[in-house]
Amino acid sequence: MKNKTIGSSFDDFLEEEGIAEDVKNGAVKKLIAFQLQEALAREHLSKTELAARLNTSRAGLDRLLDPENDSVTLQTLKRAAAVLGKKIRLELV
């Protein structure tokens, strides 16, 4: 019996399983959370300081920094980026 997955890509596998969009969205959130954590360290900001600058709670900031939490709004991301001297760039592909 011939293996149907030989020569296929990981993207093909994700599409076949019907999870490609979820996996890509999760990867984007993880990348954003990682970049925010790096910016915090670079700027020597504590979570409490960043939460105050964003006018949010520590719990709200923890949700933003949680790579598994994908319920963050674009407005929240834009505010966090601005506080850290960054910009959010989105594009449709």
3-state SS assignment for residue 64? helix
Question: Is the CB of residue 60 less than 8 Å from the CB of residue 47?
Answer: no
In residues, how long is the chain? 93
- Count of domains observed in the chain: 1
Query: Measured between alpha carbons, how far is 14 from 22 in angstroms, rounded to an integer?
Result: 9
**pLDDT (tens digit, 9 = 90+) per residue, 41-51?**
988 989 999 89
**Backbone dihedral angles phi then psi of residue 77, each to the nearest 5 degrees:** -60, -40
Range of the domain at 73: 10-83
Query: Measured between alpha carbons, how far is 57 from 27 in angstroms, rounded to an integer?
Result: 25
3 or 43: whose pLDDT is higher? 43
pLDDT score recorded for residue 2 = 65
Q: Does 68 map to a domain?
A: yes
Six-digit token pair at 50? 């960043």
Quote the pTM value.
0.71
- Which CATH number does the domain housing residue 41 bear? 1.10.260
Q: Does 49 map to a domain?
A: yes
Q: Does 52 map to a domain?
A: yes
Q: Positive or negative, the Cα torsion across 81, 82, 85, 87?
A: positive
Q: Does 5 map to a domain?
A: no
